[in-house]
């Protein structure tokens, strides 16, 4: 079934969408993206995703010609035109099309592409069974706080995971877990949730931010620190968060069972709280 997508000011069937071969997103990965979840036909925490988009674009000196309100309106129009109930909206902005040359072009107009993806999230079977993780070296660049479209390292990590029967890869720097290929990594020890601090080494997850706001309600404490793979293997529980997985229990890491191979209570509780929040459209007060 053909979707209606958005390309540079126009809504069109996906087969008709066109981007120049000179687009700097295509040639240099000179662009930024965001993925906002949609649940019950409503955007979840879209303002927070757009705030991160603005920050990422600022970090690569890409001036955004669209206001947040304009971008939200395009998101909502795509959801309506595609009758999307559950899934996500992908947004990509690039520095535009110009003859291939590394420095920024003087007169290029940024490219804006957006499309919807239907995805079963609230009742994803994986949330009941939990997912498997494999670890691999983190071979990414030094500015992972920028949501760059340059995702080859994550493509390779997640392909490695897929080839090994896992749904996600945890990338390692030395023996420290940096984050998932497309998610934030968490472990649980006793009644404490552990996830690493924000820095240039990780993407500041919007779902992470929401979960942190629910810590008190969940009955868990939070310790913001790095953790090693050995600690994760020894943890009582592990889980990931992202706009596509929401809160997802991890039941095995590198073939080693976590929480006896079943989703643990922290992940189950946080997922419940997150779903409740997401169904109301998100947005932290
Ligand atoms: N990825 N870390 C990385 C490397 C990510 O790519 C993502 C999200 C996250 C979680 O961020 P958030 O909670 O804001 O979704 C952490 C998106 C979903 C993707 O690339 O499809």
pLDDT in tens, 218-244: 999 999 999 999 999 999 999 999 999
Whether the Cβ atoms of residue 236 and residue 190 lie closer than 8 Å to each other: yes
Question: Which candidate, 41, 96, 49, 42, places its Cα nearest to that of 71?
Answer: 49
- Hey, what domains does the chain have and what are their CATH numbers? 4-118 (3.30.470.10), 125-279 (3.20.10.10)
248 bridge partner residues: 240
Q: Which atom of ligand 1 is nearest to the CA of 241?
A: 13
What local confidence, expressed as pLDDT, does residue 284 receive?
62
Tell me the pLDDT band of 124, cut-offs 50, 70 and 90. Answer: very high
List pLDDT tens digits, range 21-47: 999 999 999 999 999 999 999 999 999
- Ligand 1 atom with the shortest distance to the CA of 209: 13
For the segment 131-167, what is each residue's pLDDT rounded down to a tens digit? Answer: 999 999 999 999 999 999 999 999 999 999 999 999 9
In 3-state terms the chain splits into helix, strand, coil percentages (rounded to 5) of 30, 30, 40
Ligand 1 pocket mutation, candidates 29, 32, 34, 35, criterion most atoms within 8 A of CB: 35
pLDDT band at 280 (very low <50, low <70, confident <90, very high): confident
The tens digit of pLDDT for each residue in 175-212 reads 999 999 999 999 999 999 999 999 999 999 999 999 99
A 10 A CB-CB count for 134 gives 21
For residues 118-126, average pLDDT: 97
Active site residue 128: no
Distance CA 85, CA 91 (A): 18
Tell me the HSE value of 238 on the side-chain side, using a 13 A CA sphere. 31
**Distance (Å, rounded) from C-alpha 36 to C-alpha 34?**
7
Q: Which H/E stretch holds residue 163?
A: helix 152-163
Give the residue from 168, 94, 86 showing the smallest Cα distance to 131.
Answer: 168
The whole-chain average pLDDT of the chain stands at 97
Residues of the chain with pLDDT > 90, as a percent, come to 96
Per-residue pLDDT at 83: 98
How many whole angstroms from 58 Cα to the centroid of ligand 1? 19
What are 36's strand-pairing partners? 89
Strand partners, 88: 37, 117
Tell me which of 147, 158, 201, 280 is the catalytic residue: 147
Ligand 1 centroid to 147 CA: how many Å? 8
CA of residue 84 relative to chain centroid, distance: 19
- Give every strand in the sheet of 111-118, ordered side by side: 10-13, 4-7, 111-118, 87-94, 31-39, 42-43
pLDDT of residue 283: 72
Atom of ligand 1 nearest to the CA of 203: 2
> 152, 118, 81, 124: which is closest to 248 by C-alpha?
124
> Pocket residues for ligand 1 (CB within 6 Å)?
35, 179, 182-184, 203, 205-208, 241-244
């Amino acid at each position: 079934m053909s979707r209606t997508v958005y390309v540079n000011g126009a809504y069109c069937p996906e087969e008709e969408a066109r981007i120049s071969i000179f687009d700097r997103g295509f040639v240099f990965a000179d662009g930024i993206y965001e993925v906002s979840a949609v649940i019950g036909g409503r955007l979840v925490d879209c303002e927070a995703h757009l705030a991160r988009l603005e920050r990422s674009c600022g970090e690569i000196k890409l001036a955004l010609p669209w206001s947040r309100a304009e971008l939200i309106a395009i998101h909502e129009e795509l959801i309506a035109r595609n009758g999307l109930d559950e899934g996500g909206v992908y947004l990509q902005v690039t520095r535009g099309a110009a003859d291939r040359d590394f420095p920024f072009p003087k007169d290029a107009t940024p490219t804006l592409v957006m499309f919807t993806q239907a995805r079963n999230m609230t009742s994803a079977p994986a949330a009941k069974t939990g997912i498997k993780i494999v670890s691999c070296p983190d071979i990414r660049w030094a500015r992972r706080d920028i949501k760059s479209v340059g995702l080859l390292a994550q493509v390779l990590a997640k392909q490695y995971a897929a080839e090994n029967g896992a749904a996600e890869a945890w990338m390692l720097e030395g023996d420290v877990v940096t984050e998932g290929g497309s998610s934030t990594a968490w472990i649980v020890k006793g009644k404490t949730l552990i996830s690493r601090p924000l820095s240039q080494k990780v993407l500041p997850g919007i779902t992470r931010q929401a979960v942190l706001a629910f810590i008190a309600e969940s009955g868990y404490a939070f310790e913001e620190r790095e953790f090693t793979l050995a600690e994760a293997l020894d943890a009582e529980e592990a889980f990931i968060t992202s706009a596509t997985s929401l809160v997802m229990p991890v039941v095995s890491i590198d073939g080693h069972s976590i929480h006896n191979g079943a989703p643990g209570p922290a992940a189950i509780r946080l997922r419940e709280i997150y779903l409740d929040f997401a169904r109301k459209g998100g947005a932290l007060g």
